[in-house]
Amino acid sequence: MANISKIQTHRAAQAIKQFLCVAALAAGSVAQAGVLNFEGQVDSPFVFAGDHIKVGGYWIESYGGSQTSDLVGAFVDGSDPASCFGVSCPVNNASQYYTGLDDGYFYFGQNNDSLFRLGSLRASFIGTGQASFPAVAGMLVLQGFDALGQALGGARQLGLSGPSGGQFQFGTFDLSSIKEQFAFVRVLGYSCDANGSCNRNSNLANFAIDDIVTIPEPGSLALFGLGMAGLGLAARRRRVR
């Protein structure tokens, strides 16, 4: 009888170890970051107020104009300067990216409605014929929300540099210090003057954005499984005593 008990305990321990390995792998895969990179085929490069567009595993919804026919953004092919539609786009990104135009802004979230944290993004100001630009030509303001539309935490402000050598450049912004889990995020652009005053009411708040890294919430199902495995092992041990 003692040998049978030892065999059962050994088998239970082996099963738990195997389960823990599988759960750890599952949790790791769940925690992998995703990237909203605005790549892929879209119906039109132009984005109008109220448009809801799916891009890979994400959705974006754009606003800004008073009418649904108002242009508020565009998808730009960075490898083709002609696709920038007459404004001063950044020059150091040959991939497809999104531009918020004429004070337009947008929300984004994941198609599966899962929560996520922000990891990083790339962004640049876009000039529209101004004679000169200050060192900080614009600002990007991020605000995250829960599933009920309630704002979570404070807004994050990101300063967008003026041109260098007459050309705008994408910069990379680390957002890992933002710890809240969001259902969706709003992205607003501002235009700033030499006095440091920023506004978004003159159709000059234009920005480019790309490679928004999102980090999903931890795998709660895997954690639940680990807890149940622990309870099962304890029960087996009680039975064989």
Which token pair is 55?
Answer: 């891009």
Determine contact, residues 84/76, Cβ cutoff 8 Å. yes
Distance CA 103, CA 204 (A): 6
Instruction: Indicate whether 204 and 228 sit together in one domain.
Output: no
Q: How confident is the model at residue 72 (pLDDT cuts 50, 70, 90)?
A: very high
Are β-strands 34-36 and 52-55 bridged in parallel, bridged antiparallel, or unpaired?
Answer: unpaired
What is the average pLDDT across 63-79? 89
Is the pLDDT assigned to residue 228 strictly greater than 80?
no
Instruction: Indicate whether 16 and 38 sit together in one domain.
Output: no
Instruction: Indicate whether 150 and 199 sit together in one domain.
Output: yes
Instruction: Indicate whether 70 and 15 sit together in one domain.
Output: no
Question: Does this model's pTM top 0.85?
Answer: no
Task: Identify the CATH number of the domain in which residue 112 sits.
Answer: 2.60.120.1350
pLDDT in tens, 128-172: 988 899 999 999 999 999 999 999 999 999 999 999 999 999 999
**What ranges in 134-219 are assigned the alpha helix state H?**
none
Tally of structural domains, the chain: 2
Q: Domain containing 53: what range?
A: 34-217
